[in-house]
Amino acid sequence: MIYRPPVFESKICPPQDLVARLAGMERPLVFTNGVFDLLHRGHATYLDQARALGSSLLVALNSDASAKRLGKGEDRPVNTLGDRAAVIAALASVSLVTWFDEDTPLALIVLARPEVLVKGGDWKPSEMVGAREVTGWNGAVHSIPFAFERSTTATLERIRGR
């Protein structure tokens, strides 16, 4: 049998192709970012709520190296960038998935020029990377409250019996 990538994998876009892919996307564009290592109900709910703030949702994932620098543990991320991108791309709420190797997604935010910047409820809009830039071009910045208290760290601790 010949392997044919699932259709949703067409939503995965290397950063160098982002400008071309964004040209055909519906606006307003919503931008969010994160590691999204072990996808859970909180992630899925958050991404659905983020998409509701615009016509398209761009999710920028931390590369494996960038995620490791966040200090969440030596064994993180559990899933590779390729696997994380595929799972996020499979969500109906997600329009496009890309990634960044830097510590922050600022360069991608400036490149994408989203109308809406979103992070989870643990982020104040004034503390979000890119907030100044997005509001500077008359965009909006939102912090979406957690609907479900879930975390990859807590899940891993439960699995490990801690």
Where are the domains positioned within the chain? 7-159
Of the candidate ranges 98-107, 127-136, 149-158, the one whose mean pLDDT is the lowest: 149-158
Q: What is the CATH number of domain 7-159?
A: 3.40.50.620
Q: Is the pLDDT of residue 72 over 80?
A: no
What does residue 84 show for φ and ψ, rounded to 5 degrees?
-65, -40
* Each residue's pLDDT tens digit, 41-70: 899 999 999 999 999 999 999 999 999 998
Q: Give the residue with greater pLDDT, 151 vs 85.
A: 85
Stated pTM of the model: 0.91
Q: What is the DSSP string of the chain?
A: ------GGGGGB--GGGHHHHHTTS-SSEEEEEE---S--HHHHHHHHHHHTTSSEEEEEEEPHHHHHTTTS-TT--SS-HHHHHHHHHTSTT--EEEEE-SSSSHHHHHHH--SEEEEETTS-GGGSTTHHHHHHTT-EEEEEPPSS---HHHHHHHHTT-
Distance (Å, whole) CA 83 – CA 42: 19
The mean pLDDT value for 96-119 works out to 98
Q: Is the dihedral of CA 124, 127, 128, 130 positive or negative?
A: positive
Share of the chain above pLDDT 70, in %: 93
User: What's the pLDDT at 146?
Assistant: 81
Which residues are CB-contacts of 82 (< 8 A; sequence separation ≥ 6)? none
Tokens of 148: 């479900």
